[in-house]
Amino acid sequence: MIPLQQVWPDDLAAHYREKGYWRGETFSDLLRNCAADQSDRLAVVGEDARWTYAELLERAETAAAGFLALGLKPGDRVVVQLPNLAEFLSVVFGLFRAQLIPVYALPAHRLTEIVHFARKSEAAAYVIADRREGFDYRALARQVQAEVPAVRDVVVVGEAEEFVAFDSFRADLSLLPTTDADPSKVAFLQISGGSTGLSKLIPRTHDDYLYSVRDSAVISGLSADSVYLTALPAAHNFPMSSPGYLGAICVGATVVMAPSPSPDVCFPLIAREGVTITGLVPPLALLWMQAAANTAHDISSLEVLLVGGAKFLPEAARRVRRELNCTLQQVFGMAEGLVNYTRLDDPEHLIVETQGRPISPDDEVRIVDDQDVPVAEGEIGNLLTRGPYTIRAYHNDDAANARSFTDDGFYRTGDVVRRTPEGYLVVMGRATDHINRAGEKISAEEVEDHLLAHPAVFDAAVVSTPDDYLGERTCAFIIPNGPAPRGVEIKAWMRKRDIAEFKVPDQIVFVEDFAITAVGKISRRELRAALRQRLLGAAKGET
Ligand code: OOB
């Protein structure tokens, strides 16, 4: 098995420890300490669940023993694909307690993605819910096991059929490891949005991630009286740690798991549970503002709304205080590390016009031109970063690592930003070819690869196009092999490729050629940029 690692140079690691960023705490310590201090307080509310911290700890320990009783060994990787259920927390804290490594997949992922995660992480087990939104995850698990037999165990929250029922786990605490995990080692694998091809795996350590969680909780003003609503998919880095349900657990607050982020589901939950804080992507924030105008539910307990994952335009940002009667906190983060926040007491212009400043005084931010030369202060450039919770490498991917990190260990975020005189970042765009569709990052290359497998497609180039609601949507330019099929046929065919629905192109344009006039070879990136320009020009009525 390829070892999981995340290594910082010794001098920096020593510095991060000295500063108290890395405290030698594990995820298991976090829950155990919290349960010791706040045992009777309400930890998590799910569909049918209301668990105190003591109960969450007990359930996590039972889960840990159950996973180990299956024969899984500390260090084994386990793909977790669960909706926002209370069990999401007992499963992942159980995995942490057993020193197993969660690999976080989204409920929207399908066979193609799960097989990739399972192979790349060398997973030994897969945790799913039975069925959700009309989709049967057990059928998916059968296909995954057929393709990756190394995924020996499937654990189901709900009706297990031939698999292992999570509910059948019994506490045999003698199975639990007696020594703690090493906090400087990898705790879990997060999935990258990915701009080139398939998603990369992001190894995060206990030390580095918990630092970002602890300080995020402070920056977002969380206390034991806070109630955090997990509206976005719990596997995503934003609701996980910015400040997210982990931030809430850090301070002994209550976490409410929402089965869907829609106002219909979330507003009654806010009213019933007295939710004080949540996080949304921009399209949902727009939807919530619209719905708040005529809702019968009392959502006045909401104090802070975090918005991030994609650019929240100032015109929309300005409306939050008035229409939702709460403080907006913009967050610009990435699963690879760096997270920026506007601060709750910042002046209005910084809150609405910027995407915040880094968590840590030791987050190093460089804004450079295409030759990696720093631009003048205030100018626009590519954002590079390194720091106490930003990764130094992806898991087992030399090519991506060579591309994504500088020789001195800065991560190339792919984002194009400028810095204000106050030191706040404004996201201006990005340099890489992914489509940010309502916060879901879609690799143009990955979608093109799928399209090229269609017999009627000669060539394909996928670009983003502005969308009032989604922020961006995908447009696929296709050169057909012969007579062009219909766009709907291509979409239906894409859906059959067992990929997440959000990767199916929103728009398909058939062209005879890409009409690139430049002499010589043109890169895929330049091609996509030219096609995108053509699309934008056409939208404005240019020829
Ligand atoms: C979050 O994480 P990822 O890994 O899904 O995506 C990271 C990318 C960033 O590199 C940037 O391109 C974009 O998402 N992004 C934003 C943004 N927040 C993220 N672009 C503009 N404005 C923003 N506020 O998306 C994520 C992770 C932690 C917290 C929040 C978001």
The tokens for 362 are 């030791």
Look at residue 386 in the predicted model and tell me its pLDDT. Answer: 98
| Residue 171 neighbours by CB distance under 10 Å | 15
DSSP SS3 for 271:
helix
Residues of the chain below pLDDT 50: 543
CA of 339 to the centre of ligand 1 (A): 8
Q: Are 283 and 256 in contact (CB under 8 A)?
A: no
CB-based contacts of 11, cutoff 8 Å, min separation 6: none
Q: Is the CB of 238 under 6 A from ligand 1?
A: yes
**Which class for 189: exposed (0-12), middle (13-18), buried (19 or more C-beta within 10 A)?**
buried
For a mutational test of ligand 1's pocket, the pick from 426, 441, 442, 443, i.e. the residue with the most ligand atoms closer than 8 A to its C-beta, is: 441
CA nearest 337: which of 397, 379, 383, 370? 383
What ligand 1 atom has the least distance to the C-alpha of 307?
Answer: 24
Render pLDDT for 243-277 as a digit per residue (tens, 0 to 9): 999 999 999 999 999 999 999 999 999 999 999 99
Q: Are 78 and 126 in contact (CB under 8 A)?
A: yes
CA nearest 95: which of 53, 124, 132? 124
CA nearest 118: which of 95, 140, 87? 140
Q: Are 265 and 231 in contact (CB under 8 A)?
A: no
The tokens for 116 are 């990739």
Look at residue 522 in the predicted model and tell me its pLDDT. Answer: 67
Q: Is the CB of 308 under 6 A from ligand 1?
A: yes
Question: What is the pTM for the complete model shown?
Answer: 0.95
* Ligand 1 atom 14: residue of nearest CA: 309
| Residue 514 neighbours by CB distance under 10 Å | 16
Q: Is the ipTM of this complex over 0.85?
A: yes
CA of 429 to the centre of ligand 1 (A): 11
The tokens for 484 are 């062009």
Q: Is the CB of 317 under 6 A from ligand 1?
A: no
Residue burial 368-378, b: 16+ Cβ < 10 Å; e: rest: beeeeeeeeee
Can you give the C-alpha Rg of the chain in angstroms?
A: 23
Which H or E element spans position 447? Answer: helix 444-452
Q: Pairing between strand 434-437 and 440-443?
A: antiparallel
CA-CA-CA-CA torsion sign (45, 49, 55, 56):
negative
CA of 436 to the centre of ligand 1 (A): 9
Look at residue 419 in the predicted model and tell me its pLDDT. Answer: 98
Q: Is the CB of 427 under 6 A from ligand 1?
A: yes
Q: Pairing between strand 425-430 and 411-419?
A: antiparallel
Look at residue 311 in the predicted model and tell me its pLDDT. Answer: 95
